[in-house]
Structure 1
Amino acid sequence: MTPQPDAPETPTGAAQRRGPFRPGDRVQLTDPRGRLHTITLAAGAAFHTHRGFFSHDDILGMPEGSVVTTTSGVEYLALRPLLSDYTLSMPRGAAVVYPKDAGQIVAMADIYPGARVVEAGVGSGALTLSLLRAVGDGGSVRSIERREDFADIARANVELLFGGPHPAWDLSVGDLSDVLPTVAEPGTVDRVVLDMLAPWENLEAVATALAPGGVLVCYVATTTQLSRLAEDLREDGRYTEPEAWETMVRGWHLEGLAVRPQHRMVGHTGFLLTARRMADGVQAPVRRRRPSKGAYPVDAEWSPEELGERPVSDKKVRRVRRDVTQALDGQGGQDAGHEVDAALQVDGPSTDTRADGPPVGDDM
């Protein structure tokens, strides 16, 4: 067997996840009602609320799972945020791929340590974080994003989580069909993940890059996109029969014998579709199912609005790009704590704003 290169003693980002709290660490604070606040520790800074304050110095040097008390006696549980917490609270320009969908992509696409992955449609970098965690330092994630401002936000979010550039990551700005042939030789990519408005426009480039048996995963928001993509995959002939699904997550309220579903849940966020690359020169088996009458309407031009595209305000993107870049520059606790905290917030105060339901414990 060919000897494998030695893996680094400490994988990228692991040091930031261990040990006592240090300046520059992101800390998730949970109040008695389960509301979440995310701060970045800095020596001499303070965390203020309408119910008192405490100094960051009270947390520095303490282990995870410690409790800190404000001047008015309110206790906060201090922990480092999990990847899912970071994803939902990080600065964003474009909508993020939710943790429930990122987990499905990693699992159903079989993204393994050392895999060679191409991702197109990076957005704010949420899915990129999960892909990098899955492939490890020995793998490769080549991300391609059309908008330079989104790419800047994604780069800052990735480096904030991992404590610097990730050795397995390469980020390019441009169209997938133009960039992919320059970053990957034909037949050398193990997995391709597409999160874009019209993924069917890139099936040719993806088929050229994918190795036989490689997996294509597409994340789309509407049934219109899902239908168009499935039919174009079948017509292409180089992919297996596509499979599609969606995931929904419903939390449960746990209080003594009062055990019941929560009133809110993470419902539809998007559809996932997978297909695998056939060997060159081999045609996919013909489907035996008989389509219903009217299942294939006359083809027409579909506008971005019909496909479900929601434009992002340029003003918002400029603000998030500026704030997250300033937060990255100030990582390590060199800035005042309240300034760093403000830079890490996109909408409103320090309390995490999440679209996947109420704060933990706030379901009464």
Structure 2
Amino acid sequence: MSEPTGAARRRGPFKVGDQVQLTDPKGRHYTFTLEAGKSFHTHKGAFPHDELIGAPEGTVVRTTGNVDYLALRPLLPDYVLSMPRGAAVVYPKDAGQILAMADIFPGARVVEAGVGSGSLSTFLLRAIGDQGMLHSYERREDFARIAQENVTRYFGGPHPAWRVTVGDLQDHLSDTEVDRVILDMLAPWECLDPVAKALVPGGILCAYVATTTQLARTVETIREHGAFNEPTAWETMVRTWHVEGLAVRPDHRMIGHTGFLLTARRLADGVVPPRRRRRPAPGAYGTDYTGPGAQSGGEGAEQG
């Protein structure tokens, strides 16, 4: 049985063409691609690539300036944060939440809108494997090209489960029997009709948006649409800790807000979603509310 795409690049001794991440004594990272006969140069000296070719991961190399560097293959989170960018990347903390909360499984059939620089696409392809399907839609051809280059570089060649379409999801989505849809775009609420047609009953819609106004508009439009259950919305923040003997404290910097995530599940055709019993906060649908349902007073007015 052949290895899954990209697996051979994740184990074994270093080979020509592998990416290497060096860590210096201060914890700074340097990433490069191994080439026979080449040398890696820093302001602290140099060393030949040949010194690493055939060596195991976790090797320490010493430069001509007598500085030691730890050599490892970059992890996927390291790779996506350092790869060339067209659009902003989906941070690893959010990609991990999408994989978990959208329940991305091996063999899943996934549609992605907004490929950006290929960060989330790479995470999704690793999760669904060669037997899955990822169809990514991107409006901008230059972003699609950068994403394809980044994904191909990571896997060492084209991934058999990936297809990219340049164009709007609303205009080009023809996939059916889709398990998951991931929307990373400015106005995900505009895509609900084609997304609902593509998703299987029980399938998951996951949207990634940057602002509270986008979040509110998306959630309220999903509620009004009628093909999905009650959406769940959240954000994640990551804070590292300093651990040195008895000095254990949170670091001064953290990865705070990058975006909001929300998920909703596709109902069976003809099913009416259960009515929400939780009453909205006073004023949630007041005179300033301009979202979906404003003409009729909104759900809050109906329940009040």
- For normalisation by structure 1, the TM-score amounts to 0.78
User: Paired residue for 2:130?
Assistant: 137
User: Paired residue for 2:300?
Assistant: none
Q: Does 1:226 align with 2:215?
A: yes
**Superposition deviation, residue 19 in structure 1:** 1.5
CA distance in 2, matches of 1:109, 1:197: 20
CA distance in 2, matches of 1:242, 1:266: 25
Can you list the C-alpha shifts for 1:308-346, whole angstroms capped at 9, x where unaligned? xxxxxxxxxxxxxxxxxxxxxxxxxxxxxxxxxxxxxxx
Q: Does 1:199 align with 2:188?
A: yes
- For normalisation by structure 2, the TM-score amounts to 0.93
Can you list the C-alpha shifts for 1:183-224, whole angstroms capped at 9, x where unaligned? x13xx0000000000000000010000000000000001111
Q: Does 1:299 align with 2:290?
A: yes
Identify which of 100, 112, 130 aligns with 1:119. Answer: 112
Q: Alpha carbons of 1:281 and 1:87: their partners in 2 closer, same or farther (altered >3 Å)?
A: same
Identify which of 152, 177, 181 aligns with 2:170. Answer: 177
Identify which of 21, 24, 31 aligns with 2:24. Answer: 31
**CA contact 2:59–2:70 (8 Å) conserved in 1:** yes
Residue identity in the other structure for 1:134: A
RMSD between aligned residues: 1.2
Q: Does 1:253 align with 2:252?
A: no
List aligned pairs for 1:159-174, cutoff 5 A.
159-174=152-167
Residue identity in the other structure for 2:27: G
User: Paired residue for 2:144?
Assistant: 151
| SS in structure 2 of the partner of residue 283 of structure 1 | coil
List aligned pairs for 1:328-339, cutoff 5 A.
none
Can you list the C-alpha shifts for 1:246-294, whole angstroms capped at 9, x where unaligned? 1111111121121111111111111000000010000101112222333
Q: How high is the sequence identity, in percent, across the aligned residues?
A: 69
| SS in structure 1 of the partner of residue 111 of structure 2 | strand
| SS in structure 2 of the partner of residue 143 of structure 1 | strand
User: Paired residue for 2:298?
Assistant: none
CA distance in 2, matches of 1:300, 1:60: 59
Structure with the greater relative contact order (CA < 8 A, sep ≥ 6): 1 or 2? 1
Q: Does 1:243 align with 2:236?
A: no
Q: Which runs of 5+ in 2 are unaligned?
A: 293-304
Bigger proportion of residues as strand: 2
Q: Following TM superposition, where does structure 1 have runs of at least 4 consecutive aligned residues deviating by more than 6 angstroms?
A: none
Higher alpha-carbon deviation: 16-25 or 110-119: 16-25
**Superposition deviation, residue 48 in structure 1:** 1.2
